[in-house]
Structures are given as structure tokens and as C-alpha cells.
Structure 1
Amino acid sequence: MKTSLSFKGIDQLVKHLDKAASLSDVQKVVKSNGAQLNKKMQVAAPVDTGYLKRSINMSLEDGGFSAKVGPTANYAPYLEYGTRFQNAQPFVKPSFNIQKNIFKNDLERLIK
């Protein structure tokens, strides 16, 4: 009695596992950059009562492939862009501009 065991599609499985590992790495990069952006915004936010700083938070979306970071305080846009009575005190855009270059470099490092 002869028995044999064969695996069909092992090459496809290996390719899928390689992709899954790289997707996991992308999720890690998104999460770490989101956390860094969150911290940068909190440090740059103007503080009076501390409510604005505490309202800045991060949430991961799209299975970890998107990070949403920002303030939930209803007066945040007035501080970011200013009003006719108050000068702008931007904290979102400057933080984002710094972090986007770091994020881009991290993703390029994954590709290599």
C-alpha cells in the first residue's frame, strides 16, 4: 500500500504569506506615525484650560491602514485658522507637515 501527500498551490501560499507580512508592517508604520502625529499635535496645541490638548486623539480605520488624528474640541478650527478678532495659532497643519515626510520615508524603507 503506497501513500503520498502532495501540496498544490504552495507557491501561491508563500506569496500570500509574504504579502501578509508586508501588510502587517504597513499597519505598524501607520499606527506608529499616527501616534507620533497625535503627540506632535498635543505638544503644539495652545493651552489655556487643557481641554483642546486632551481632545486630540487617534483612531485606526480601514483595518489599520488609516489613522485619523485630530482634535474634537468644537473651537479647534478657530484656533487653527484664526478669526477676524484672533490671530491663528496653527497646531494641526504644522504637525502634519512634519509627520508626512517621516511617514513617506518609513513607507519607502519598507519597499526597499
Structure 2
Amino acid sequence: MGKGSFKINGLAGLSKKLKKNASMDDVKTIVKTNTAELTAEMQRESQIVLTGHWEGKKFVKPTGATKRSITMHMSNNGFAGHSGPKTEYAPYLIRGTRYMVKRDFFLPPLRKQKQKFRSDLERLMQ
């Protein structure tokens, strides 16, 4: 599992409970929907946070490469969703360097979506 991702442990218990209350297709739908929402929110946040930078006395406008690189990918037969930037310099933007302040467009949307994902799964188990 890559950096900046999260994993819910205890899938055996979750799977047992879900088999009683809902179909596995419902779980796949929740995973796909939440992954798509997370991807869109990261792209939106990157537009807000990444506003350009100064190189000497010249201001350089953002190109949008980081926003375009944020994509989603489904795996594990639809039970796992992955989303995040693919540019090689994205970790420097997210964490910052000693010369550059961090411009975190990754963790705030992830925290919000994680709560929504858990509540969607809990609603499905009731």
C-alpha cells in the first residue's frame, strides 16, 4: 500500500456482517463512489492550494499538471480504490521542503472522505 493511503482492518468481520445485511455489490458501489469523490475533492483542493510560485523576481503560474495527474484506480475486484497524484514532485508539494512551505492538497480531503466512507459502511451494516 502506498504512502498517504489508508486501510480498514478486520475485513473478515465486516464481510460476515455485510453478507447478512447487504449484497457485496452495495459495498463495491460505496467504494467506487467514495474513491471518485475523493479524487474530485483532491483535484479541487489542488486548484485552491497550488497557486504558483516565485522564481527570483519572476512569478510562475501553475500549469495544472498535478491536478491532471490525480486519478483513481479500482482494484481487488472493485473492493479497493486508489486515488492520488502521479507526478514525481507531488510529495514535495504535500510535505514541503526546507525552502518551500507545504501545500497539502492530499490529507484534508482524505480525512473528510474517510469519515464519510466509514459512515456509509456503517449505514449499510444497519
Larger Rg: 1
Q: Higher relative contact order by CA 8 Å / sep ≥ 6: 1 or 2?
A: 2
TM-score normalised by length of structure 2: 0.72
Query: In structure 2, how many angstroms separate the alpha carbons of the residues matched to 1:27 and 1:44?
Result: 26
* Divergent runs of 4+, >4 A: none
Deviation at 1:100, TM superposition (A): 0.2
Verify: 1:74 aligned to 2:75, yes or no.
no
Q: How many residues align?
A: 95
CA distance in structure 2 between the aligned counterparts of 1:108 and 1:61, rounded to whole angstroms:
22
> What's the counterpart of residue 42 of structure 1?
43
Aligned CA-pair RMSD: 1.6
Task: Give the AA of the match of 2:120.
Answer: D
SS in 2 for 1:100: helix
More helix per residue: 1
Residue identity over aligned pairs, in percent, reads 44
Normalised to the residue count of structure 1, the TM-score between the two structures is: 0.80
- Within 5 Å, which residues of 2 pair with 1:1-112? 19=19, 22-45=23-46, 46-47=50-51, 48-112=62-126
CA distance in 1, matches of 2:116, 2:95: 24
User: What's the CA shift for 1:71?
Assistant: 0.4
Cα distance in 2 for residues equivalent to 1:22 and 1:50:
40
SS of equivalent residue, structure 1 residue 60: strand
Secondary structure class of the residue paired with 1:95: helix
Residue 22 of structure 1 deviates from its aligned partner by 1.3
Q: Give the drift of 1:44.
A: 0.7
